[in-house]
Amino acid sequence: VLVIAAAICLARAPSREFLELDSGGGLTRIDPTANVIHPETTNAAHSVALTGTVGTLGEVVVIPEASGDIVYVAENFRNGGEFAKDETLVQIDTTEYEIALENAKLSLTYAKAHLREVLDKQSRGELSLSRNEDGEVDLWLDLDGEIDQAKTRVEMAENGIKLREIALDETRIRMPFDGYVMTTQISVGQVVTTHSSRIGQVYAKNELRVRVPISSFDLDSLQPILGRSADVIVDGRTYRTEVERVSRRVDIETRLGALYLFLLDQENTEYLPRPGAYADVIIEGPQHQNVFVLPEATMQINGSVWLVNEGTLVSFTPESLGFADEGWLVSAFDPLDGVVMGSISGAREGLAVRATSIQHR
């Protein structure tokens, strides 16, 4: 019974950090000190610091459309190289394709000769009919089907030439855009196979993007977000970008959305970031009117603050607008007798405190 009574007394006793010895040697309860500030309304803009990854709209895997020996590889078709639109990057041996084209041309010559022969037969048949006084149809006139077949052979031969010209042209590997080489291991003497050999990976200029994961809170604080400016820092270099797109879904694990930033003036930038590189991102937010810029030390659990009202603590959750270099931006509110800086041991709603004003900034 004595043990239980002692435990109850200890549980009801005030915390030792609020007790001190009086002159008579007894314990006297004192109120903890609360350092408070008195913020003033102002206009301010916030920024959001994030991290992201450099990527592209899409990488192109270079796969030959012709088979054969590699007889030429451009000097700039190497890892990290830069190439121009329609520049010959790789040339496959054309010997077989040129022979096939010559054979197709010979087939056209033969088809045209056959058509002339059939038409000549028809002409001779018409002449024979004009000389036949009894009006019987001469067998020379029964050539309509053969003429159609001969014309079809000519068209097929012409199409065959076009196909052989396309096949010959496909021995020259080039891209329909200016771009950069990501990876390649091709060299003269290698044998490649149509639609199966992989000879490199490239991407086009103007297709660099920075993907930046972002929370719903930060995204809302930056609205309107499209077109907003951002600084991207990669390997010590700063690039100007703007927000081009926002993802329409959030990551199922992190619950974060994503921004896609477009690097400005890519054509005239000497050193561009490499795909896959880590990026620090600072996005400039909108200008806010009638706000408080609070030191981050005022922020308590769940984004709340402690206010002092007539000597007691009052919890309040302001509307958070984001962060700037100067501090935490919140919509202005009634600070009562001051906003508490830092933590107070045993802080709770209604706790009696002694408010002490301090300077900040």
Residue 6 maps to a domain: no
Q: Which of 117, 152, 169 is the C-terminal boundary of a domain?
A: 169
Residue 232 maps to a domain: yes
Query: What confidence score (pLDDT) does residue 345 get?
Result: 86
Q: Is residue 67 located within the same domain as residue 188?
A: yes
Query: What confidence score (pLDDT) does residue 352 get?
Result: 92
Phi, psi of 313 (to 5 degrees): -80, 140
Looking at the DSSP bridge assignments, the partners of residue 20 are 28
Q: How confident is the model at residue 30 (pLDDT cuts 50, 70, 90)?
A: confident
Strands 257-263 and 208-214: antiparallel
Query: What confidence score (pLDDT) does residue 7 get?
Result: 45
Residue 191 maps to a domain: yes
Q: Show the DSSP H helices in the chain as ranges.
A: 2-12, 95-131, 144-169, 216-221
Q: What is the pTM of this model?
A: 0.64
* Mean pLDDT rounded to a whole number for the chain: 85
C-alpha span between 322 and 96 (Å, rounded) = 67
Q: Is residue 78 located within the same domain as residue 192?
A: yes
Average pLDDT over residues 136-141: 52
Q: Is residue 276 located within the same domain as residue 293?
A: no
Residue 77 maps to a domain: yes
Amino acid at 330: V
Q: Is 57 helix (H, G, I), strand (E, B) or coil?
A: coil
C-alpha span between 76 and 80 (Å, rounded) = 8
Phi, psi of 128 (to 5 degrees): -65, -40
Name the percent of the chain lying above pLDDT 70: 86
Q: What angle do CA 315, 43, 320 make, to 5 degrees?
A: 35
Q: Is residue 188 located within the same domain as residue 136?
A: no
Query: What confidence score (pLDDT) does residue 117 get?
Result: 85
C-alpha span between 349 and 113 (Å, rounded) = 105
Average pLDDT over residues 246-250: 89
Q: Is residue 160 located within the same domain as residue 33?
A: no
CA 190 to chain centre: 35
* Neighbouring C-beta atoms of residue 152, cutoff 10 Å: 12
Query: What confidence score (pLDDT) does residue 210 get?
Result: 95
Q: Is residue 126 located within the same domain as residue 152?
A: yes
Query: What confidence score (pLDDT) does residue 25 get?
Result: 53
Q: Give every CB contact of residue 202 below 8 A, 6+ residues apart in sequence.
A: 59, 60, 62, 83, 175, 179, 180, 181, 182
Q: Which of 145, 169, 193 is the C-terminal boundary of a domain?
A: 169
Average pLDDT over residues 246-270: 87
pLDDT digits (tens, 9 = 90+) for 181-232: 999 989 999 999 998 889 999 998 888 999 999 998 889 888 899 999 999 9
Query: What confidence score (pLDDT) does residue 47 get?
Result: 86
Query: What confidence score (pLDDT) does residue 136 get?
Result: 55
Asked whether 329 and 288 are in contact (CB, 8 A), the reply is yes
Residue 2 maps to a domain: no
- Residue 180 maps to which CATH number? 2.40.50.100
Q: Is residue 192 located within the same domain as residue 77?
A: yes
Name the percent of the chain lying above pLDDT 90: 54
Q: Is residue 82 located within the same domain as residue 194?
A: yes
Q: Is residue 76 located within the same domain as residue 187?
A: yes
Query: What confidence score (pLDDT) does residue 109 get?
Result: 92
C-alpha span between 48 and 77 (Å, rounded) = 40
Element (H, E) at 129: helix 95-131
- Residue 221 maps to which CATH number? 2.40.30.170
Query: What confidence score (pLDDT) does residue 11 get?
Result: 41
Domain count, the chain: 4
pLDDT for 28 beyond 80: no
Q: Is residue 132 located within the same domain as residue 159?
A: yes
Residue 219 maps to a domain: yes
Q: Give every CB contact of residue 116 below 8 A, 6+ residues apart in sequence.
A: none
Residue 345 maps to a domain: yes
pLDDT digits (tens, 9 = 90+) for 273-309: 889 999 999 998 888 899 999 999 999 988 899 999 9
Domain limits for position 183: 60-90+174-202
Residue 120 maps to a domain: yes
Q: Is residue 198 located within the same domain as residue 319?
A: no
Query: What confidence score (pLDDT) does residue 150 get?
Result: 87
Q: Is residue 120 located within the same domain as residue 247?
A: no
- Residue 308 maps to which CATH number? 2.40.420.20
